[in-house]
Chains A and B, each alone.
Chain A
Amino acid sequence: AQKITQTQPGMFVQEKEAVTLDCTYDTSDPSYGLFWYKQPSSGEMIFLIYQGSYDQQNATEGRYSLNFQKARKSANLVISASQLGDSAMYFCAMREGEDSTLTFGKGTMLLVSP
């Protein structure tokens, strides 16, 4: 079974609107962390936001927020007030336990139109 599933290959959104990128995960470890990264066409992976499995509140970082639903094993990324510069690939990733390695999903391509 896939550990990280991103079901949306591509998403379109108009500038200034909010968009939700889906991510579901699968783990039996009670301690884990969920990450979202942005990859523009330049190739570099940019860390956006982190949610720990024991965190009581949903993580927020500026225009990014994470809709963490533990029982459903989902960690959707919400981008508010989309900007043209948000057009990129977005990857969800998970770290389990004390392991430093990350497992990545296949990514979602987000295109923001004027």
Chain B
Amino acid sequence: NAGVTQTPKFQVLKTGQSMTLQCAQDMNHNSMYWYRQDPGMGLRLIYYSASEGTTDKGEVPNGYNVSRLNKREFSLRLESAAPSQTSVYFCASSEGFSNDEQYFGPGTRLTVT
């Protein structure tokens, strides 16, 4: 079991460029999440998908879009990258029931210049 995988591990973009961060899980989890981690801010939820076919905004959704492609995959798209989106992005998944645990991916370090 690979758990939660993310690609790419590192990315440098120029302002205005677009890109998609990929996330996949092999634990048959229902819920998937995208967070960004910034110094002094902790983890902030960007978007989440409670189950296949649904997506909802988190705390900081502006400038991002998501797609729950199937039960395994949940992608995050930056349509027009901005320097403020420089961050480490984490994908996570969980079974989706009460008191459940989130499993995190290794993270993607994104720099927007």
Tell me, yes or no, whether A binds B.
no
